[in-house]
Amino acid sequence: MINFYKTILFFVSFYSILSAQAANELYVNGQAAAIPATSPTLYNNGALIYVNGDITIQDGLFVNTGTAEVELTGNWTNNQPGGNNKYQSTGTERFSGSADQSISGNMAGTSGNDNQFYNLYIKKSSATGEYVSLLSNTHINAAGTLNFESSNGIIRTQAASAGTSNITSTGNYIFYLYVQNPSTSAIIGHSTGSGASTKYIEGKLKRQVNAASTYYFPVGVNKNYLGGMNAFDIKFNSVPTATGILAYINGGTQNLVDPDVFADVAQVDNNPGSINYFSTCIGPPDGIYDWIKLTEKISHQWNLTPDLATSYDYDITVYPSSTLEGTASFYTVPCSPNYTIQYLARDGIPGGNLATYQPGAGFGNEIGYFVNPTGKTLPGQTGFSNFRLWGTTDANTALPVELIALYASPVNNQSINVHWETASEFNNAGFEVERSTDGIHFTAIGWVAGSGSKSGITSYDFTDNQNIQAGTIYYYRLKQVDIDTKYVYSKIVTTRIDIFNSIAVSELYPNPTNGLTQIDIISAKSNIVSLSIYDVLGKTIQTNNERVNAGLNTIRIETGHLPAGNYIIQLQSENDIYSKKLIKN
Enumerate helices (H) and strands (E) in the chain, giving the number of each.
Answer: 1, 48
pLDDT at 525: 77
Q: What is the mean pLDDT of residues 34-41?
A: 38
Give 169's pLDDT tier (boundaries 50, 70, 90): low
Please say if the pLDDT value at position 83 is more than 80.
no
Greater model confidence, 386 or 487: 386
Give 542's pLDDT tier (boundaries 50, 70, 90): very high
Q: What is the mean pLDDT of residues 144-151?
A: 97
Range scoring the smallest mean pLDDT among 221-225, 268-272, 360-364, 478-482: 268-272
Please say if the pLDDT value at position 359 is more than 80.
no
pLDDT at 139: 98
Tens of pLDDT, residue by residue over 508-528, are 888 888 888 999 888 877 888
Tens of pLDDT, residue by residue over 479-496, are 888 776 767 677 788 888
pLDDT at 18: 36
Give 264's pLDDT tier (boundaries 50, 70, 90): confident
Name, of 27-41, 207-221, 349-363, the range with top average pLDDT: 207-221
Please say if the pLDDT value at position 376 is more than 90.
yes
- DSSP assignment of 524-563: SS-EEEEEEEEETT--EEEEEEEEE-SEEEEEEEE-TTSP
- 580: β partners: 569
Greater model confidence, 470 or 393: 393
pLDDT at 272: 46
Please say if the pLDDT value at position 7 is more than 50.
no
pLDDT at 509: 85
pLDDT at 288: 74
Range scoring the smallest mean pLDDT among 17-26, 159-168, 432-441: 17-26
Greater model confidence, 409 or 218: 218
Closest CA to 130 of 104, 102, 111: 102
Please say if the pLDDT value at position 4 is more than 70.
no
Give 109's pLDDT tier (boundaries 50, 70, 90): very high
Range scoring the smallest mean pLDDT among 16-25, 366-375, 422-431, 516-525: 16-25
Give 24's pLDDT tier (boundaries 50, 70, 90): low
Residue 392 CA, chain-centre distance (Å), reads: 11
Q: What is the mean pLDDT of residues 26-50?
A: 52
Which residues have a Cβ under 8 Å from the Cβ of 456 and sit 6 or more positions away? 273, 274, 275, 423, 424
User: What CA–CA distance (Å, rounded) separates 298 from 376?
Assistant: 12
Give 453's pLDDT tier (boundaries 50, 70, 90): low
**Between 2.40.50.220, 3.40.50.720, 2.60.40.10, 3.10.150.10, what CATH number should domain 403-495 receive?**
2.60.40.10
Q: What is the mean pLDDT of residues 206-232?
A: 96
With beta carbons less than 8 A apart as the criterion, state whether 584 and 556 touch.
no
Tens of pLDDT, residue by residue over 220-260, are 999 999 999 999 999 999 999 999 999 999 988 888 989 98
Domains 403-495 and 503-584 share a fold: yes
Classify residue 499 by burial, with Cβ atoms within 10 Å: 0-12, 13-18, 19+: exposed
pLDDT at 252: 82
Q: What is the mean pLDDT of residues 128-142?
A: 96
Tens of pLDDT, residue by residue over 112-125, are 899 999 999 999 99
Q: What is the mean pLDDT of residues 363-391?
A: 89
CB atoms within 10 A of CB 527: 18
Whole-prediction pTM value? Answer: 0.68
User: What CA–CA distance (Å, rounded) separates 341 from 344?
Assistant: 10
pLDDT at 240: 96
What are the residue boundaries of the structural domains of the chain, listed by start?
7-250, 260-305+313-398, 403-495, 503-584
Range scoring the smallest mean pLDDT among 261-270, 286-295, 542-551: 261-270
Please say if the pLDDT value at position 457 is more than 80.
no
Q: What is the mean pLDDT of residues 397-414?
A: 73
Average pLDDT of the chain to the nearest whole number: 84
User: What CA–CA distance (Å, rounded) separates 332 from 292?
Assistant: 12
pLDDT at 5: 32
- DSSP assignment of 35-85: S-TT-SSS--TT-EEEESSEEEEEESEEEE-TT-EEEESS-EEE---BTTB
3 state SS of 279:
helix
Give 269's pLDDT tier (boundaries 50, 70, 90): low
Q: What is the mean pLDDT of residues 460-483?
A: 87
Closest CA to 171 of 128, 217, 235: 217
3 state SS of 462:
strand
User: What CA–CA distance (Å, rounded) separates 531 from 197?
Assistant: 72
Closest CA to 469 of 442, 445, 496, 500: 496
User: What CA–CA distance (Å, rounded) separates 112 from 93?
Assistant: 17
CATH topology of domain 503-584: Immunoglobulin-like (2.60.40)
User: What CA–CA distance (Å, rounded) separates 505 from 576?
Assistant: 11
Q: What is the mean pLDDT of residues 3-25?
A: 36
